Amino acid sequence: MEKHIIFEDEQIRAIFLKGSSDALIFSFGDLITRAKGLSINAEKSLAKHEFNVIGIMPKQKSWFPESSILAMFAAIEDFIAPFKTRIGYGGSMGGYAAIKYSALLQLDRVVALVPQYSINPDQVEDLRYNMFFHAELNATMQIQAHDVSAECEYIVVYDPYCEEDRAHYLKLEHVLPQIQTLNLPFTGHDAIAVLASSELLNDFLLHEFDAPYFYQKIRQVKKNSKFYYRKVIENLLPRHKNALGSILINNDLQLDHQFFDPKLKQHLLRALLSNKQVSQQDLLKLGIQVNLPQENRSQLLDYFGHGLVFNVISQKIESYAASAIALNHKFLIPIFAKGSGLVQINLNDERYVVAMNDRQVMKLFKEQDALTVGMHPIVIKKYSDFYLLSYKHLNLSTNEYGNHDFIEDSPETTQFVTQSEQLQSTLNI
């Protein structure tokens, strides 16, 4: 489709995408989809439905300064005059601009996903974006009554549980003459990624507002959105750990190994291993592949009475309750100690040494294989009443949640006993 630049300055670039529709769509870019060649925000979906589009793309993280938009409008006013139906669309910074300049551009409808009211820290405290506020560019950037129109329909999509976005929404509620709200719970600020669908975008732009209809369409899109499940997992996991099992059971996810960041992946694994019997299918859905080991003997216990294991999924030494280890014995390998020596585990009938480097990255080496440069074996030291697990001068310490760290001191949390020794101690009381 034909595209060309119709306005450009230091802050923005406006690109016209010629289509066959009666409506003209103003598609505003966001903080991520900034100006790059002739690319337009949501171009693929808009082109599919042959919309005439003016893509207004930010060149800087400056929230579409009013001076640039006024200059653009003066340059394109005659060009857009034939289009009687005009619709604004954007997310986040783009959603803000679609609302802010709706009266100027004489828009009939605005669809704004997680928009801001202002990034001025004196008006809304939002640590995500306050840093981008520049008084000389954004002096009167808050959305005011004269920026909006009673003839324009405003549709705002946001997560009411996201505190930062809700603060902006409450401000917008007071200034917009009419606002239609679609809630997208537990997605945070990722509405744009979650709702990526050409059919849904077409409905947002043209379909008469009907909340039940839109929610039905949103549910269909969410069901096929990996981004949606990631945000739900991030938000629900701290409060509703059992929900993760339901998501895995009821949805055919097939994520790649980089979909979750390492911190979230560790939280996911702990929630899974602590609350349900984990299957290899569960792990594959989350983009995690492991070899399946097994071991059956008594093991070391930490200060809190939890079993010391090597987690072959996270590749770390951790502690779990006996019930969790019993459910997930293929992944949580007990660590044993008869005397002083190296920390070793048994996988598929082979002995492996547990080694670590100074960045506390652990790795398994077959007993007969050479260590790689920088890796040092973790050592078990037997004392009269307890064991220590040491790396150089550091000792392994545990906490009540089963996480471990290597520290310089030797408090009680660094002392481990075997199950048999604990049992004998109990019988002697």
CATH number at residue 114: 3.40.50.1820
What local confidence, expressed as pLDDT, does residue 293 receive? 43
What residues contact 82, with CB distance under 8 A and at least 6 apart?
none
pLDDT of residue 421: 53
User: Within a domain: residue 208?
Assistant: yes
Q: Please name the residue that has the structure tokens 């020794």.
A: 421
pLDDT in tens, 303-359: 999 999 999 999 999 999 888 888 888 889 999 988 899 999 988 878 999 999 999
98 occurs within a structural domain: yes
Instruction: For residues 234 and 193, give the distance between their C-alpha atoms in angstroms, rounded to a whole number.
Output: 15
Per-residue pLDDT of 22-70, as tens digits, reads 999 999 999 998 899 999 999 999 999 999 999 999 999 999 999 999 9
Same domain, 62 and 104: yes
- Report the pLDDT value the prediction gives residue 319, as an integer from 0 to 100: 94
Domain annotation covers residue 295: no
Q: For residue 294, is it within any domain?
A: no
* 372/270 same-domain check: no
Query: Where among 195, 225, 255 does a domain terminate?
Result: 225
For residue 296, pLDDT over 60 is answered with no
| 202 CB-near residues (< 8 Å, 6+ apart) | 45, 49
- Best CA proximity match to 24, nearest among 91, 81, 100: 81
Is 120 inside any structural domain?
yes
pLDDT number for residue 117: 98
Is residue 319 domain-shared with residue 173, that is, in the same domain?
Answer: no
Residues 207 and 245 both lie in one domain: no
pLDDT of 48:
95
Q: What mean pLDDT value characterizes the chain?
A: 88
Same domain, 271 and 367: no
Whether residue 390 is contained in a domain is answered as: yes
- Provide the number of structural domains found in the chain: 3
Same structural domain for residues 67 and 30? Answer: yes
Q: Does 184 share its domain with 304? A: no
| Tens digit of each residue's pLDDT (9 = 90 or more) over 352-402 | 999 999 999 999 999 999 999 999 999 999 998 899 999 999 999 999 888
Spatial separation of the C-alpha atoms in residues 383 and 412, rounded to whole Å? 13
Q: Which CATH number covers residue 320? A: 2.80.10
Mean pLDDT, range 410-421, rounded to an integer: 84
Show the domain range for 323: 300-428
Q: What is the 3-state secondary structure (H, E, C) of the chain?
A: CCEEEEEECCCEEEEEECCCCCEEEEEECCCCCCCCCCCCCCHHHHHHCCCEEEEEEECCCCCCCHHHHHHHHHHHHHHHCCCCEEEEEEECHHHHHHHHCCCCCCCCEEEEECCCCCCCCCCCCCCCCHHHCCCCCCCCCCCCHHHCCCCCEEEEEECCCCHHHHHHHHHHHHHCCCEEEEECCCCCCCHHHHCCCHHHHHHHHHCCCCHHHHHHHHHHHHHCCHHHHHHHHHHHCCCCCHHHHHHHHHCCCCCCCCCCCHHHHHHHHHHHHHHCCCCHHHHHHCCCCCCCCCCCCCCEECCCCCEEEEECCCCEEEEECHHHHHHCCCCEEECCCCCCEECEEEECCEEEEEEECCCCCEEEEECCCCCCCCCEECEEEECCCCEEEEECCEEEEECCCCCEEEECCCCHHHCEEEHHHHHHHHHHC
Is 384 part of a structural domain of the chain?
yes
| pLDDT class of 253 with cuts at 50, 70, 90 | low
Give 275 or 211, the one with higher predicted confidence.
211
Q: Same domain for 99 and 177?
A: yes
Residue 270 token pair:
């702990």
Same domain, 337 and 311: yes
Joined tokens for residue 255? 């994520």
| In a domain? residue 292 | no
| Same domain membership, residue 198 and residue 138 | yes
Q: Based on the domain organization, do 320 and 281 belong to the same domain?
A: no
pLDDT value, residue 295 = 40
The residue behind tokens 């008006």 is: 123
Residue 426 dihedral angles phi and psi, to the nearest 5°: -65, -40
Q: Pick from 261, 285, 309: which residue ends a domain? A: 285
pLDDT at 223 over 80: no
Let me know whether 41 and 109 are in one domain.
yes
pLDDT over 50 (residue 410): yes
Task: Check residue 10 and give its pLDDT.
Answer: 97
Q: Which of 32-36, 138-142, 208-212, 222-226 has the lowest mean pLDDT?
A: 222-226
24 bridge partner residues: 52, 86
Q: Is the pLDDT of residue 297 over 60?
A: no
pLDDT beyond 80 at 251 = no
